[in-house]
Amino acid sequence: MLRVSGMIAPAAIRRGPLAGFWSRSPVLQPRRRLASTTFADASPLASSSATVSSSSSTSLRPLAYWLLGTGALVAGMVTVGGITRLTKSGLSMTDWRVQGSLPPLNETEWQAEFARYKHFPEYQQRQSMTLDEFKFIFYWEWGHRMMGRFIGLAYGLPFAYFAVRGRIPRSLYPRLATLFALGGGQGLIGWWMVKSGLEMDPQQRKEIRVSPYRLTAHLGMAFTTFSLLIWTGMDLFHPPEHAVRAATALKTHLAAAARAGGPQASQELLGRILRVRHLGIASAGLLGVTILSGAFVAGNDAGRAYNTFPKMGEDFWIPPEAWEMEPKWRNFFENTALVQLDHRVLALSTAGLISATFLAARRGQVWRVLPAETRTALTATVGMAGAQVALGISTLLMYVPVPLAAAHQAGSLVLLSLLSWSVHSLKFLKKLPVQSVQRSLPKSVGKGGAEGASAAVEGGKMVAQL
């Protein structure tokens, strides 16, 4: 339990990276001065040398729900987009209208829409298609586009409401404007992608499909938008006082390590904690590259070749045709063999790095010192990484069934969310004040106290340099 009499914004917040949130936003203005604090809970995350008002957390929570909810809608749209591609429905709507949202409503309108589709290259390779089959693929693409419009409303209307009510901190507006730009640009890139399939010469390809480069740009922007939405939502769910509590708990552990093991013990413990964060960031970067490589697999329909694992075919780890294109760089993006090999290697490397992050967190005293939130996030992340690898291999071996392939794409969103959560839960390490570690030590630490204090301060400097 934490009992507080009177409150004030701590110096760590007023000077920290979220100072704009505190000083400029009316919902984060301090109202009372800190008079005294009493700590009855010995838990590291419950103890703190200073306490701040929880009003900021409460007032920002609706904004967090709004952004996280929009992120969930974007995840749903990405999944529907994957099904649209897997069912070969993406080229069924041959124009892009800013206005108008209704599908054909009667037989005459359906016949007219179908006749328009027949003029484009895809139909020339699928001339046995019936009107009912056309309706099926049309509804998938129409639903995908309508989801985009709905997400625009789900983001724009609450934004207008919160802005009029003065609920949005000024420092948050640039990020929200970026999200507006990403959302608007995504629609344009989507049509640019579709247009590449509508204009393709049917004599040049066995099967008409969109440009893998444009598909990757489209998917990459969707994942960027999703990542920014959930990261900002987590920022709002974890206001400055959360970082203060987590940093104070870490200082307590560093001081204890300095008292028990001397100067090196504190530095070693801090170094291991920082290593977890660095490995998490590296894992997130590698996951992003793996996701983009998956887009090239989809764009080249590479999942329907080499449907064996771990070898590609019966005899090869690296197929001899992996480098047959000229110039050589094209093989990475257009050669079915190398595109699939790249994704295999990147996926297994990502899973391996996530596992290394988890093992680093489990090493020595690190697991006990990490916030409970971080432990939960890392455990979920390493479990999801294994599940995602299993989904990918199963999708390959079963020749890309739509439900399994869609689950694999959705799994990448879940894994990205969990890994982002893991990294975000250690964000407080980025700005831990140097002197705060020294102040966390008792005035008398007994034998070796001076050395312990020195080690703790050095640890604080290590964090401040991040």
**Which residues are CB-contacts of 311 (< 8 A; sequence separation ≥ 6)?**
317
CA atoms of 364 and 48, how far apart (whole Å): 24
181: in domain: no
Helix (H) / strand (E) containing 148: helix 131-164
What's the pLDDT at 51?
33
202: pLDDT confidence band, cut at 50, 70 and 90? low
- Any idea what DSSP says for residue 199? T
Is the model's pLDDT at 408 over the cut of 90?
yes
205: in domain: no
What's the pLDDT at 261?
80
265: in domain: yes
What's the pLDDT at 438?
43
Per-residue pLDDT reduced to its tens digit, 335-365: 999 999 999 999 999 999 999 999 999 998 8
C-alpha count within 13 angstroms, C-beta hemisphere, residue 125: 16
Is the model's pLDDT at 25 over the cut of 70?
no
Measured in Å, how far apart are the chain's first and last C-alpha atoms?
A: 32
Average pLDDT, the chain: 82
What's the pLDDT at 300?
95
What's the pLDDT at 20?
38
Phi, psi of 312 (to 5 degrees): -100, 100
CA atoms of 262 and 428, how far apart (whole Å): 25
Residues 270 and 462 sit within 8 Å (Cβ to Cβ): yes
The 3-state DSSP class for residue 318 equals coil
149: in domain: no
What's the pLDDT at 264?
82
> How many domains is the chain built from?
2
Q: Which amino acid is at 79?
A: T
458: in domain: yes
218: in domain: no
As a whole number, mean pLDDT of residues 191-197 equals 92
153: in domain: no
Of 159, 195, 153, 193, give the one whose Cα is nearest residue 176: 159
Residue percentage of the chain with pLDDT more than 90 = 62
What's the pLDDT at 18?
37
57: pLDDT confidence band, cut at 50, 70 and 90? low
**Domain of residue 456, residue span:** 238-466
Is the model's pLDDT at 406 over the cut of 90?
yes
Per-residue pLDDT reduced to its tens digit, 96-132: 776 667 899 999 999 999 999 998 888 888 778 999 9
50: pLDDT confidence band, cut at 50, 70 and 90? very low
176: in domain: no
Lowest mean pLDDT among 117-121, 203-207, 265-269: 203-207
